[in-house]
């Protein structure tokens, strides 16, 4: 049997290297993984309690419409319940958007270095991919607008951008939205927005009130610490959400995910704690990189991209041997690493290991 010809060349998504694999392969007892932008502080105790209670219902299908969580989230964000759709992570909503809106030959626009699932899912639908180079690590919205045509169906803006960690401010994004034609769906992927405190950062929910062709994507995988439960969501106008819902698989989010997300939403103290610790971690990384003479992109999420001035894979491999897992292999930034912000102890160990690695590499030259 032959698969669709347009998918045979597609790469399989490569997650961060698992901790257990590194321990086994390298004979290590301690490994720190800061490669997948997970929350180093776990999740709310309230979410864990909600999961434990849900064990009794393990044999029962989840609520396919996630009514209770939908209503709670609608109240939390000040939107109507018919403006929300849930997915197995925001990744699945990206898939559903492509399935709902893209036909073969339709054009979709994205940055040349951003979350890879935009391109991957658009390619599955045999759409035409338009990649626009980042400008100093940030979406070049002016250049992206110039690429919009009558064939453009979807534009993707990852804000903060993954992997660079940079943001486009509200003036830039609103200018873009005021110029882009109404037939183009603009996806504001705000997976890391809860970490951002900069007042110039655009709130997709506010922009949605003015621009009907906007949908914002958010997730419980990052600051809420529910990555393994795979639950994310999109908020848009009712007609947009209705169209996406038409291609959603039944029971696509679990009972555990819904229960944990509902409880996590109520624990504002835990979110505030994670945000504050993340801010401290970013400040530590920025000071440390400056002391090492390294440059990093301005970081607004829970990760930072730093130029180590060496082939990133070489530095990645050396760090791995010291029990540190980060992320390398970014095609437009071959000498840069993306490092998740960890706990204070983890961050200190990463910098100590990176300092040793760079000294070792320099000594070999």
Residues 278-306 pLDDT 10s: 999 999 999 999 999 999 999 999 999 99
Residue 134, SS3 per DSSP: coil
Given a contact cutoff of 8 angstroms between Cβ atoms, the answer to whether 205 and 77 are in contact is yes
Cβ count near 292 (within 10 Å) = 16
Residues 311-325: what's their mean pLDDT?
A: 96
pLDDT 10s digits, 176-211? 999 999 999 999 999 999 999 999 999 999 999 999
Whole-angstrom distance, CA of residue 251 vs CA of residue 216: 22
Structure confidence by residue, pLDDT tens digits, 76-85:
999 999 999 9
pLDDT value, residue 303 = 98
Question: Is CATH 3.40.630.30 the classification given to domain 45-266?
Answer: no
pLDDT at res. 286: 98
The whole-model pTM stands at 0.94
The pLDDT value recorded for residue 147 is 98
Whether residue 164 contacts residue 112, with contact meaning beta carbons closer than 8 Å, is answered with no
Instruction: Please name the residue ranges forming H helices in the chain.
Output: 19-26, 45-54, 67-77, 90-101, 117-124, 141-146, 170-179, 204-210, 238-245, 255-266, 268-291, 312-321, 344-364
Q: Residue 363: its pLDDT value, please?
A: 82
Q: What does the pLDDT read at residue 164? A: 98
**Over 90: is that where the pLDDT of 227 sits?**
yes
pLDDT at 171 over 90: yes
For the chain, domain boundaries: 15-42+269-363, 45-266
Instruction: Evaluate whether 15-42+269-363 and 45-266 have a shared fold.
Output: no
- Reported as a single tens digit per residue, the pLDDT across 20-76 is 777 787 787 788 999 999 999 999 999 999 999 999 999 999 999 999 999 999 999
- Strand ordering across the sheet containing 336-340: 295-296, 303-307, 336-340
62-76, pLDDT tens digit by residue? 999 999 999 999 999
Tell me how far apart the alpha carbons of residues 200 and 203 are, in angstroms, rounded to a whole number: 9
Mean pLDDT of the chain: 95
Q: Per-residue pLDDT for 17 more than 70? A: no
Quote the pLDDT of residue 198. 95
Instruction: Return the pLDDT at 329.
Output: 84
Could you tell me if 281 and 347 are in contact, meaning their C-beta atoms sit under 8 angstroms apart? yes
Q: Tokens representing 3?
A: 């698969």
Backbone angles phi, psi at 337, to 5 degrees: -115, 145
User: What local confidence, expressed as pLDDT, does residue 19 receive?
Assistant: 80
Rounded to an integer, what is the distance from CA 281 to the centroid of its chain? Answer: 19
42 pairs with which residues across the strands?
none
Percent of the chain at pLDDT exceeding 70: 96
Gap between the Cα atoms of 193 and 244, Å rounded: 23
Please state which CATH number belongs to domain 15-42+269-363: 3.90.1150.10
Spatial separation of the C-alpha atoms in residues 22 and 349, rounded to whole Å: 17
- Give 93-149 pLDDT, tens digit per residue: 999 999 999 999 999 999 999 999 999 999 999 999 999 999 999 999 999 999 999
Q: How many C-beta neighbours within 10 Å does residue 1 have?
A: 2
pLDDT of 229-264, one tens digit each? 999 999 999 999 999 999 999 999 999 999 999 999
Spatial distance between the Cα atoms of 63 and 47, rounded to a whole number of angstroms: 18
327 alpha carbon, distance to own chain's centre: 14
Take residue 119 and report the two structure tokens written for it. Answer: 């391109």
Question: pLDDT at position 362, please?
Answer: 84
Give the CA angle between residues 53, 54, 60 to the nearest 5°: 150
Mean pLDDT over residues 306-318, rounded?
A: 96
């Amino acid at each position: 049997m032959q698969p669709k010809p347009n998918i045979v060349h597609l790469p399989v998504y490569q997650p961060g290297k698992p901790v257990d694999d590194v321990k086994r392969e390298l004979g290590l007892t301690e490994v720190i993984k800061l490669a997948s932008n997970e929350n180093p502080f776990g999740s709310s105790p309230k979410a864990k309690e909600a999961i434990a209670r849900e064990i009794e219902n393990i044999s029962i299908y989840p609520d396919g419409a996630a009514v209770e969580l939908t209503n709670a989230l609608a109240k939390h964000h000040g939107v109507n319940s018919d403006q929300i759709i849930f997915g197995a992570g925001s990744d699945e909503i990206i898939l559903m958007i492509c399935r709902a809106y893209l036909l073969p030959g339709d054009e979709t626009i994205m940055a040349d270095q951003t979350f890879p699932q935009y391109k991957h899912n658009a390619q599955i639908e045999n759409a035409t991919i338009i990649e626009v180079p980042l400008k100093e690590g940030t979406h070049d919205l002016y250049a992206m607008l110039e690429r919009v045509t009558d064939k453009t169906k979807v534009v993707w803006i990852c804000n903060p951008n993954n992997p660079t960690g940079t943001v486009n401010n509200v003036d830039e994004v609103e200018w873009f939205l005021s110029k882009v034609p109404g037939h183009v769906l603009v996806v504001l992927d705000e997976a890391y927005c809860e970490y951002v405190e900069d007042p110039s950062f655009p709130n997709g929910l506010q922009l949605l009130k003015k621009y009907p062709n906007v949908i914002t994507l958010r997730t419980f995988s990052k600051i809420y610490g529910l990555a393994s439960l795979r639950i994310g969501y999109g908020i848009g106008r009712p007609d947009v959400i209705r169209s996406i819902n038409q291609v959603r698989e039944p029971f696509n989010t679990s009972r555990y995910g819904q229960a944990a997300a509902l409880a996590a939403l109520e624990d504002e103290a835990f979110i505030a704690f994670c945000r504050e610790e993340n801010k401290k971690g970013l400040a530590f990384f920025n000071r440390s990189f400056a002391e090492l003479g390294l440059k990093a992109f301005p970081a607004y999420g829970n990760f930072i991209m730093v130029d180590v001035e060496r082939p990133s894979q070489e530095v990645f491999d050396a760090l791995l041997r010291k029990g540190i897992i980060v992320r390398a292999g970014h095609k437009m930034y071959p000498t840069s690493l993306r490092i998740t912000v960890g706990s204070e102890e983890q961050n200190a160990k990463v910098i100590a290991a990176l300092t040793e690695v760079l000294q070792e590499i320099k000594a070999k030259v």
